[in-house]
Chain A
């Protein structure tokens, strides 16, 4: 079963929930898809055994063939090519690797080369297998790195996907194809606002979901009211509690230290499994 952990708002506890969930179940692979700021490894403390670069194809121009007609530049939706009367410039960081420029070039002057945009890290921590992606500094495209991380997904067993925050392309790419999505929120107006946006996205994608309320006890009751109205299951509440916060601040997953939480995450997982019929 593939479970994605997401949230509209940042800093609600996605990684905390994802890591503790992974540590509480068997036969599990953890894919950290928050490639702009991966941090599950800060809680899992894996031994990284292997690294692999992630490339995307970008155009290169054979200026001996190019007659500066400008068709490639006109075609490029992302303005990654500039053509003047006697020069052509490629801006690889704007390129989305569609390959269209090479197709429209009447002189066949454009070919593609590999441009490094990130790194995959492979490791393990106890029984949890971990893969996390890292986007190169200065590269704006997270999606190809997320795709590369998800390509490492094992065909059987359980997979926990740690999503970046928000509701834009990197999140869609992460949760796409999941059996279930756990939405982590906090019971504040900010948590609620961003939860609503994420719910809309998941409804649109047809992915079943439930809510985990983190830092329960702060804020107000509006998140609960919203979930009741929308008939969204509240799967778990993690209280705003000193010992949990302390373990977190030391980089220790709290379910390892407080055994009852392992049980709670296991129950959560069973409940999800049941609801998706797997």
Chain B
């Protein structure tokens, strides 16, 4: 089965990137052989709709499962329409999360995990702030 993992780098040992639409790389992994292909994310610098463009790429490359940190509402809708199953909250290296998924340790989500935002200016959007509270003061 072809699994797509959002990654900060272009190898199986790269850390999982928590952002979906604006991750640097998509790593497509064959879960049986662990053969992989790293595809740079052309949507990374998109003005808007990065999640939709990224979903388009994943769907067109035939991934059945996406493993990432968070997905927004538009990307979620697009991925769901393409029948891609979505695993969120993943961390570690690409290799580790694929192994964990194969062992059934990662759960799929049925809803977007962050709020929508437009373009790059929004930065740490609503969902992010909720999910990752600021560090305590020194």
Q: Say yes or no: is B74 at the interface (Cβ < 8 Å to chain A).
A: yes
How far, in whole Å, are A87 and B74 apart by their CA atoms in the complex? 15
Q: Which one of B52-60, B98-106, B126-134 contacts A?
A: B52-60
CA–CA, A83 to B43, complex, Å? 16
Are B48 and A84 touching (Cβ within 8 A)?
A: no
Number of CB contacts from chain A to chain B under 8 A: 49
Given A73-B56, A82-B55, A87-B49 contact (CB < 8 Å): no
Residues from chain A with Cβ under 8 Å of B48 in the complex: 78-79, 94, 140
> How far is it, in angstroms, between the C-alpha of A94 and the C-alpha of B119 when the chains are bound?
10
Asked if A148 lies at the interface with its beta carbon under 8 angstroms from chain B, I say no
Contacts of A87 in B (CB 8 A): 81-82
A167 to chain B, nearest CB (A): 14
Interface string of A115-146 (1 = CB under 8 A from B): 00000000000000000000000001000000
- A80 at interface by CB-CB < 8 Å: yes
B:36-92 near A, CB below 8 Å: 43, 46-50, 52-53, 55-56, 59-60, 74, 77-78, 81-83
Contact across chains for B49 and A91 when beta carbons are under 8 A apart: yes
Q: Are B47 and A82 in contact (CB under 8 A)?
A: no
How long is the Cα–Cα vector from A217 to B119 in the complex, in angstroms? 39
**CA separation between A252 and B82, bound complex, in Å?**
56
A84-B59 in contact (CB<8A)? yes
Residues of chain B contacted by A94 (CB below 8 angstroms): 48-49, 52, 74
Identify which of B46, B81, B83, B118 contacts A82 (C-beta below 8 A).
B81
Q: Chain A 86-98, CB within 8 Å of chain B: the 1/0 string? A: 0101010110000
Known: A79-B50, A91-B52, A91-B74. A84 touches B118 (CB 8 A): no
Smallest CB separation, A93 vs chain B (Å): 8
A59-100 residues at the B interface, CB under 8 angstroms? 70, 73, 78-85, 87, 89, 91, 93-94
CA distance A81 to B43 in the complex (A): 14
Most buried by A among B48, B53, B118, B119: B48
Shortest CB distance A130–B (Å): 29
Q: Give the chain B neighbours of A85 by CB distance below 8 A.
A: 59, 82
Shortest Cβ distance from A183 into chain B, in angstroms? 24
Ranked nearest first, the 9 interchain pairs of A and B with the lowest CB-CB distance are A79-B49, A84-B82, A82-B78, A87-B81, A79-B53, A79-B52, A140-B118, A94-B49, A84-B59
CB–CB B49/A84 < 8 A? no
B59: A residues at CB distance < 8 A: 82, 84-85
Indicate whether A84 sits within 8 Å of B52 (C-beta atoms), given known contacts A91-B74, A140-B118.
Answer: no
B47–A78 CB distance below 8 A? yes
